[in-house]
A = this chain, B = another copy of it.
Amino acid sequence: MHKKLFIPGPTEVRKEVLKEMARPMIGHRTQEFTDLFAALKPKLQRLLYTQNDVLISSSSGSGLMEAAVRNCVGKKVLSCVCGAFSAKWADIAANCGKEIEKLEVAWGEAIKPEMIEEKLSQGGFDAIHLTHCETTTGVLSPLAEIAEVVKKYPDVLFLVDTVSSLGGIKVETDRLGIDICLASSQKALGLPPGLSVASVSLRAYERAKTITGRGYYFDLLELKKSYDKNQTPYTPSISLFYALNRQLDYILEKEGLEKRFARHKKMGRLTRKWAQEKGFELFPEKGFESDTITCLTNSRTIDLKRAKEEQKKKRYQFDAGYRELNAKLEKEGKPSTFRIAHLGDIKTSDLRKLLKELEALI
């Protein structure tokens, strides 16, 4: 029995996309594959609102998070931390031997432009990493306002994780001056996991040239060399390339980007309204709620354990809270959280049905 997924990734994958996953294999050093690769390029550029290269990695988004810091941090990176995934990025940078300085706010709060201004104005940074939508807390960073600040520091590369926003919320990479904008296949793009994409600016490549120990798999210059030939340095996850191509056609041509963003907005609003009506507080700081994932404070004290058990019999799955976050909250004597993800190809009508089902658990 398949459960419709309202968890923050993997998300539901449409049947025609799943079908692409089952295509017979082809060689990757063939015209057929380079044609497929070439077709993907402009579509990804449209999706990311960029003229930069959009590299494709046969890895999860975490892999490209590593690529971003491994290739772009020479001196010190400003690590913006507001939840588990942004904290993970800081850890990755540290594990790559990079010097990091954390700008940390309480989970549920958003990082503000002025906090970043204060840090960057002290000097010494050559990169900043920011998580657009923090999946653990459902907080959406004020990306446009932060971008204005980062632009004032021309030596600071702007690395942005849009894993749980790209394809659901507009991200104008070039207008915002984002040097690396990365995302995973299994979130708002509505694909199975295993692939990730990142736009890379010219100055990010230039920076990479000055950095040693970039390794191979996540070496941006290695990826670039192949990219220019519509190829990958290593055998790519061909099935997912097919699926990506099909899904980009759907997103760009069938649904259309603006409509897709509007649908996510609507689903975000709907979920927040429902929460309010049912007496659940929203976990994110007011005004910073993401339209892709809603994180709710369990102020009505649903028995989340029971809910999890109940779900086993149901045709849907929501998220009974991010474990690390709930453990933290429990320690502080605060109510736990749970999450409803409404991203990717989930329809508003599906979401309404889920909310109805959830009411039975209250």
Contacts and interface: CB of A to CB of B under 8 A. Distances in A.
Interface of A: 2-3, 5, 7, 9-13, 18-19, 21-28, 30, 58-63, 65-66, 70, 88, 91-92, 95-97, 184, 186, 192-194, 212-219, 233-240, 317
A317 B70 CA distance: 39
A87 to B, nearest CB: 12
Q: Which 4 A-B residue pairs are closest in the complex by CB-CB distance?
A: A194-B237, A62-B234, A22-B22, A97-B213
B186 A25 contact: yes
B216 A213 contact: no
Q: How many copies of the polypeptide does the oligomer hold?
A: 2
Nearest to A65: B216
Contacts of A25: 5, 10-13, 186, 192
A168 B93 CA distance: 39
A92 B216 contact: yes
A155 B245 CA distance: 48
B60 A235 contact: yes
Most interface-central of A3, A25, A238 (chain B CB within 10 A): A25
Contacts of A218: 217
Nearest to A193: B235
Most interface-central of A23, A95, A234 (chain B CB within 10 A): A234
A66 B96 CA distance: 14
Contact of A5 (B27, B59, B66): B27
Contacts of A91: 216
A193 B242 CA distance: 13
Given A92-B216, A239-B21, A317-B27, A194 B58 contact: yes
A239 B239 contact: yes
Given A2-B24, A63-B217, A192-B239, 14 more contacts: A10-B238, A59-B63, A60-B235, A60-B237, A63-B234, A66-B216, A70-B215, A95-B216, A96-B216, A194-B237, A215-B215, A217-B218, A237-B237, A239-B239
